[in-house]
Structure 1
Amino acid sequence: MTLMLSKNIQDELQQTARLLATNGKGILAADESMSTIGKKFVQIAVENTKENRRLYRQMLFGDDRIREFISGVILHDETLYQKDDNGKGFVDLLREKNIVPGIKVDRGLVLLMGTNNETNTQGLDDLKPRCEEYYKLGCRFAKWRAVLKIDEHGGSPSQLAIVENARGLARYASICQECRIVPIVEPEVLSDGNHSLEKCQQVSQKVFAATIAALHEHNVLMEGILLKPNMITAGHDFNGKAENNAEEIGMATVMTLMRTIPPAVPGIMFLSGGQSEEEATVNLSMINQIGSKIKPQTPWKLSFSYGRALQNSAITIWAGNVENVGKAREELIRRMKANSLASQGRYMPGSSTTTSSTATKSNYVAKHVY
Structure 2
Amino acid sequence: SHSIDTCYEISKMTLLKLYNELYAARVVLEGTILKPNMVLSGKKSGTVDSPEKVAEMTIKLFRETVPAAVPGIAFLSGGQEDEEATANLNAINAIGPHPWKLTFSYGRALQAAPQKAWSGKASNVAAGQAAFTHRAHMNYLAALGKWKASLEQAA
Counterpart for residue 235 of structure 1: 42
**5+ residue gaps, structure 2:** none
Counterpart for residue 275 of structure 1: 80
Larger radius of gyration: 1
Distance in 2 of aligned mates of 1:329 and 1:274:
22
Question: Structure 1 residue 246 and structure 2 residue 46: aligned?
Answer: no
2:65 to 260, 281, 291: 260
2:143 to 343, 353, 365: 343
Q: Aligned residues: percent identity?
A: 38
Distance in 2 of aligned mates of 1:333 and 1:226:
25
- Superposed displacement of residue 338, structure 1: 0.3
Counterpart for residue 132 of structure 2: 332
Distance in 1 of aligned mates of 2:54 and 2:24:
31
Counterpart for residue 218 of structure 1: 25
Distance in 1 of aligned mates of 2:57 and 2:44:
19
**5+ residue gaps, structure 1:** 1-193, 356-370
- Superposed displacement of residue 322, structure 1: 2.1
Counterpart for residue 311 of structure 1: 111
Counterpart for residue 209 of structure 1: 16
- Counterpart AA for 2:67: P
Q: How does 1:64-213 map to 2 (within 5 A)?
A: 194-213=1-20
Higher relative CO (Cα under 8 Å, sequence separation at least 6) belongs to 2
Counterpart for residue 288 of structure 1: 93
Distance in 1 of aligned mates of 2:79 and 2:154:
20
Tell me which protein shows more helix as a share of its residues.
Answer: 2
- Counterpart AA for 2:99: P
Distance in 1 of aligned mates of 2:68 and 2:129:
36
- Superposed displacement of residue 217, structure 1: 1.6
Distance in 2 of aligned mates of 1:352 and 1:225:
33
Distance in 2 of aligned mates of 1:354 and 1:324:
20
Q: How many residues align?
A: 155
Contact 1:285 1:346 in 2 (8 A): yes
Counterpart for residue 21 of structure 1: none
Tell me which protein shows more strand as a share of its residues.
Answer: 1
Distance in 1 of aligned mates of 2:101 and 2:57:
17
Contact 1:278 1:353 in 2 (8 A): no
Note the alpha carbon deviations across 1:275-320, whole angstroms, 9 max, x for none: 0000000000000112x1xxxx411111000000001110111122
What TM-score does the superposition give when structure 2 sets the normalisation length? 0.94
